[in-house]
């Protein structure tokens, strides 16, 4: 039952962070290499790509006392709608031509207080998304289906 999804997910947003503390770049398409997204600053192979559940953005906004929260404020790489990423933990997802393996929770950092104001860190706890390693590099684009790949 855990492998069954009602509908395929969709890639709603892509974010690249060229360097630490630089503004997030939001292209319509990107290339995922073995190390992560091309143009994103480096991180460990187990944490090559970060994903967040699109449906969690209004929850974070409500918990932070805001009308809305844009995904670039959270500094994740990909925002996925329609596919419960928690149900895929330790599994694989195909995003466009790439395949990622969800490796663990992506906790908030202290910068969430800067981005969202007082209580921002707590608002993101449990909703901060997931880390993933790259199984198969490939091109991704906004609107691509996101489906289980295991």
- Residues 75-126: pLDDT tens digits? 999 999 999 999 998 899 999 999 999 999 998 888 899 899 999 999 999 9
Higher pLDDT, 45 or 128: 128
Per-residue pLDDT at 135 exceeds 80: yes
Q: Per the structure, how many domains does the chain have?
A: 1
d(CA 3, CA 150): 9
CATH assignment at residue 76: 2.40.33.20
Residue 2's pLDDT band (cuts 50, 70, 90): low
Q: What is the pLDDT of residue 40?
A: 94
Instruction: Show the domain range for 111.
Output: 14-148
User: Would you say residue 4 lies in a domain?
Assistant: no
- DSSP letter at 25 equals B
Candidates 73, 30, 72, 78; CA nearest to 52 is 78
- The confidence score (pLDDT) of residue 146 equals 97
């Amino acid at each position: 039952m855990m492998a069954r999804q009602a509908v395929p997910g969709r890639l709603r947003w892509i974010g690249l962070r060229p360097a630490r503390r630089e503004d997030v770049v939001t292209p319509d398409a990107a290339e995922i290499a073995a190390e992560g997204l091309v143009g994103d600053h480096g991180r460990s192979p187990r944490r090559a790509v970060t994903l967040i559940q699109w449906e969690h953005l209004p929850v974070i906004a409500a918990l932070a006392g805001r009308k809305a929260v844009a995904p670039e404020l959270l500094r994740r790489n990909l925002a996925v709608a329609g596919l419960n990423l928690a149900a895929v933990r330790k599994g694989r997802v195909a995003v466009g031509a790439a395949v990622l393996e969800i490796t663990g929770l992506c906790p908030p950092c202290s910068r969430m207080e800067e981005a969202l104001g007082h209580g921002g860190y707590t608002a993101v706890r449990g909703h901060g998304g997931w880390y993933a390693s790259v199984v198969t590099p490939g091109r991704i684009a906004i609107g691509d289906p996101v489906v289980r790949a295991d």
